[in-house]
Amino acid sequence: MPGPNGSVPAEAQLRAAIEDTLRVTGSWFALMLGLGLTGVLIGFALILNKTQLFTLMPTTLSRDTLFAATVFWVIALVAAAAIRIVQQHAVAAVSRYVSERLAVPAVLCTVQRAGRPEALAGEALDAIETMREAFGGQLPQIALSLLTTPLLLVLIFALHWAAGVMSVAFCVAGGVVSLLMTRAAHRAATVAGESRTRAFGMTADAMRSGEAVLAMGMLPRLVRHWVAAAAEGSAEAWASERRAERLKTLLEILVGALRGSIIFIMAGLTLAGQNVNGAFAGAILVIGTVVGPFMGIGAHLRSLTGALAAWQHLRGMVRGTAPVAEGIAFPPPATALRAEHLSFGYRGPTPPLFRNLQLEVGAGEIVAIVGPSGSGKSTLLRLLMGILRPGSGGAYLDGHATSQWDRRELARHVGYLPQDALLSRASVAEAIARLEAPDMEAVMEAARRAGAHETIIGLPCGYATLLTGSYQLSMGQRHRIALARALYGNPRLLVLDELAGSLDAEGEAEVARLLQRLRAEGIAVLFTTHRPNLLAAADRVLAIRRGQLVPAGEEVPVHGTLRLARAPRPAVAA
């Protein structure tokens, strides 16, 4: 359901994209099936035309018969080529449609899921690419051939039972051998990968304890362990590869046996006094069309299972994404950010990240949060911004849950700097203006405050430089532009993750001066960092300990709302 500003929740967008994809692929499949059946009938008619020509011409010696057969052959050949071209265009169109229709909703949906959004987005795009490759490869043609197989078998049995029995026998034998060959090849690749993983793990262990290995004479024994592990994996992989090669040889023998069997059956029936007419000869020739897909069904089945798994992954994203309630445009806040009894944990056996966490950030207050990598600093900021929903408790801006705010309205009052300073595919000005029509005066003011103005005007096209062009920005430059994006529009609260993480000492000093100016303007700032100079500029420094916030250097959390008196700060040069 659209929100107040016409926005649609990400899971609803993905659900609609999946429904559209199902509808389009259903129509596409019906079209492909119809074209495939028509192509099969045209192919069979061509075969009958050839056999009739070879049968009638020696007896009639008629130019009219030759002319009619030639005209029919040309028309059928043109029709078959046209059908093939339409099929190729349909395959390309549906593969492109699947990729374009699903990509953006799938990536947007990952933002609302637990975990690293960039990793989840990569998984979603990989799933879409798997589906696109399946649609754009030989799988659709093979699937259509398999679907038309029953019709062709009925036709072959109607012409002669011997041809039908031979078709079924070779279909079953070719399918079984192809599946076994694909399984053996997959097993060989899996074993080789596991062997490499074990070798890498043993190498990493040896490197971590290299001094002990050398000092205590363990290197020869360690080498023997490596050789034994490698030999064990290589032996199993080699056996699987040999099995796959033998099955491949057997498959090639089956293909040759099919060709020979056709000739011998025709000869045997002739010796038995049966009339091998043109229709029967055509049926024999169609056997190759029927049996061919089964000879390679193993590899195509793996492609199909991969595409189905990718499709289920996308559908699982819809089920696993928490629905976002329709946002509300609350009145402009006076900027008091509070976390009350906030608890949160990812799914699975891991313990909760936060338990009963308390925090308050008032207007004009600068609060820093520190903690080791993996302690949950970035996750906490996402919870405070309403990007993630807590298991219990909540984060509130002037008493309103941040997860309930309309995102565009919240962005007018809160500026956010993620740890990864990813910039949108747009010009510098548009990126700072959050992809809206840029107010250049406000854009330049935000860039000056972030220390990015001089960098931007030095770009090839200044503020009009496209961030997707050949000009590559450094991490520090991207960080400054992302900080300018957070400052755009003069928000009353700033939530900044890993502030100045990509800046040098000069950039760090500029950020420290910016924090002083923001405090003087009554703007609240909550940030994470590892820079001591920035910690010195904060009113309070809090650390994450055992899922709660405590004053830095202490181990016991302060009960109630965590708000301490401001500590004296060292002076920072203006």
Cα separation, 569 vs 412, in Å, equals 30
In this structure, what token pair is assigned to residue 474? 């450094």
pLDDT at 448: 94
Query: In percent, how much of the chain has pLDDT > 70?
Result: 67
pLDDT (0 to 100) of residue 510: 92
Average pLDDT taken over every residue of the chain: 76
Pick from 161-175, 180-194, 318-332, 438-452: least confident: 318-332
Higher per-residue pLDDT: 222 or 86: 86
Examine the pLDDT at 156 and tell me if it is beyond 80.
no
Q: Taking a C-beta distance cutoff of 8 angstroms, is the pair 519, 364 a contact?
A: yes
Half-sphere exposure of 366 (CA within 13 A, CB side): 22
Q: Quick one: pLDDT at residue 552?
A: 81
pLDDT for residue 367: 94
Lowest mean pLDDT among 307-321, 416-430, 435-449: 307-321
For the chain, the 3-state helix, strand and coil shares in percent, each to the nearest 5, are 65, 10, 25
- Angle of CA points 452, 456, 462, to nearest 5°: 155
Q: Averaged over 68-74, what is the pLDDT?
A: 83
> Does the pLDDT value for residue 265 go beyond 90?
no
Q: What local confidence, expressed as pLDDT, does residue 199 receive?
A: 64
Tens of pLDDT, residues 442-497: 999 999 999 999 989 988 888 988 886 545 788 888 889 999 999 999 998 999 99
pLDDT greater than 60 at residue 298? yes
Instruction: Average the pLDDT over each of 299-313, 334-348, 482-496, 559-573 and give the range with the smallest value.
Output: 559-573
Which pLDDT score is estimated for 328? 56
d(CA 322, CA 14): 13
CB under 8 Å to 373, separation ≥6 — which residues? none
Query: Is 17 a residue whose pLDDT tops 60?
Result: yes
Q: How confident is the model at residue 77 (pLDDT cuts 50, 70, 90)?
A: confident
Predicted confidence band at 3 (pLDDT cuts at 50, 70, 90)? very low
- Residue 443 CA neighbour count, 13 Å, CB half: 20
Residues 569 and 538: their CA atoms lie apart, in Å, by 8
Domains of the chain in sequence order? 1-137+299-326 (no CATH), 148-295 (1.20.1560.10), 337-423+485-551 (3.40.50.300)
Query: Which band of pLDDT confidence, cut at 50, 70 and 90, is reported for residue 574?
Result: very low
Give pLDDT, residue 573: 38
User: pLDDT higher for 490 or 48?
Assistant: 490
470 or 133: which leads in pLDDT: 133
End-to-end CA separation in angstroms for the chain = 50
Strand arrangement, sheet containing 366-370: 414-417, 493-496, 524-528, 366-370, 540-545, 548-551
Question: How do residues 180-231 score in pLDDT, each as one tens digit?
Answer: 887 777 777 777 777 667 666 666 665 655 556 566 666 676 666 666 666 6
Mean pLDDT of 277-297: 67
pLDDT at 55: 67
E runs forming strands in 225-308: none
CA distance 142 to 156: 20
Convert the pLDDT of each residue in 373-419 to its tens digit. 888 898 999 899 888 888 889 999 888 888 888 777 888 888 999 88
